Amino acid sequence: MESAGRAAAAGFPVPCGVRFRADDLGPVRRVTARWAVQAGLPAARAEDFVIAVSEIAANAVWYGSPAARLLLRAAAGAAQAEVRDSGCWRPAAAAASGNGRSGGRGLALARLVCDELGIRAGAGGAPSSATTT
């Protein structure tokens, strides 16, 4: 797992970029949890944010591509996470994957615990984002 940060604006945590693979999902959760605390999210909202980020990150590397990138940033009073993979979005993939995992609940769970969840399908991958205030 590789990470990089940039200078932060006054009052906001440093944006955090992390490249990860399926074996890195535990560290992705820990990085996200530390960042959420720095962003000032209340404990319960930080836990929800970690769950949402974990689910979209897992979705990216289980169904999209072997490696993905997470960007955590604060904007307009909200914590935002964007996960980018280089795979091709297949809505049915979450329900029946070819990797032996039963699935289909991760994105639904992420939708329940964050304020906004988005997936933008395109030729170069399917970036997913989660926003929590």
How do residues 2-27 score in pLDDT, each as one tens digit? 555 443 444 557 788 999 999 999 99
**Average pLDDT rounded to a whole number, residues 69-91:** 85
Domain that holds residue 41: 14-132
Q: Nearest to residue 132, comparing CAs of 25, 2, 62, 33? A: 33
The pTM assigned to this predicted structure is 0.79
Q: Confidence class of residue 94 from pLDDT cuts 50, 70 and 90?
A: very low
Residue 1: inside a domain: no
Say which CATH number the domain at 53 has.
3.30.565.10
**Contact 94/117 with Cβ under 8 angstroms?**
no
Number of domains in the chain: 1
Q: Confidence class of residue 31 from pLDDT cuts 50, 70 and 90?
A: very high
Amino acid in the structure at residue 108: A
Tell me the backbone φ, ψ of residue 124, rounded to 5 degrees. Answer: -95, 20
